Amino acid sequence: AVSAAEGSFTVTSDGMEMTKYPIDAGYARMVVEAAKLSPELHLQMIAAVSAMQVHGITSTKPDKDRWKYLVKNENRSDIIVQLKVFIKALGMGEDERDDYGILEQRYLKAKKYYDSIAERAGLDPGELTCPTDEDVEKLIDCIIVGSEDIFMRHGNKYRGVQGSARNPSRSTAVLTG
């Protein structure tokens, strides 16, 4: 979000918007991009990056992975998985979140981020809705804009944007589909 011209640097309007959000720069860029689309997508992206800012709210332990049942067939993006789990977790009590392998301390921290960022953006945190398939495609576009490191599945292999072979983490949701 910095523009260079004739040896000088200026912060772009997107860069200025990013400074409003107390999260990692890539996540802030995703939020700014979603804000251009609609208030619903803006809130959804805020929720998604809030969960990611705390390194995810789902357990990576094999015996604590019932959260996968909450997002069946969602294997397009770990960020989208975290968004959908976060939305479902909002309607659960602590015991139910624990039963699904949702990490309570991370969830509470993500919820705090979400409420704070939504309010900073002038949005009502209570208006969050689950994204439609069309919403997910738009959110993925926003994710790509803010990502430094993206890799995609090509058949049974994974490749970075430059074509290099990649090995995803065992905890990634993209391996489940």
| pLDDT (tens digit per residue) in 113-132 | 999 999 999 999 999 999 99
> Is residue 106 predicted with pLDDT exceeding 90?
yes
Cα distance between residue 176 and residue 74, in whole Å: 8
* Both structure tokens of 71: 């997002």
> What is the tens place of the pLDDT at every residue in 131-175?
999 999 999 999 988 876 655 555 666 655 555 665 655 556 655
Cα distance between residue 43 and residue 162, in whole Å: 31
At 154, which helix (H) or strand (E)? strand 151-154
Helix axes 39-53, 104-120, angle to 10 degrees: 140
- For the entire predicted model, the pTM comes to 0.83
Q: What value does the mean pLDDT of the chain take?
A: 86
Cα distance between residue 22 and residue 133, in whole Å: 28
Q: Is 133 exposed, middle or buried (0-12, 13-18, 19+ CB in 10 A)?
A: exposed
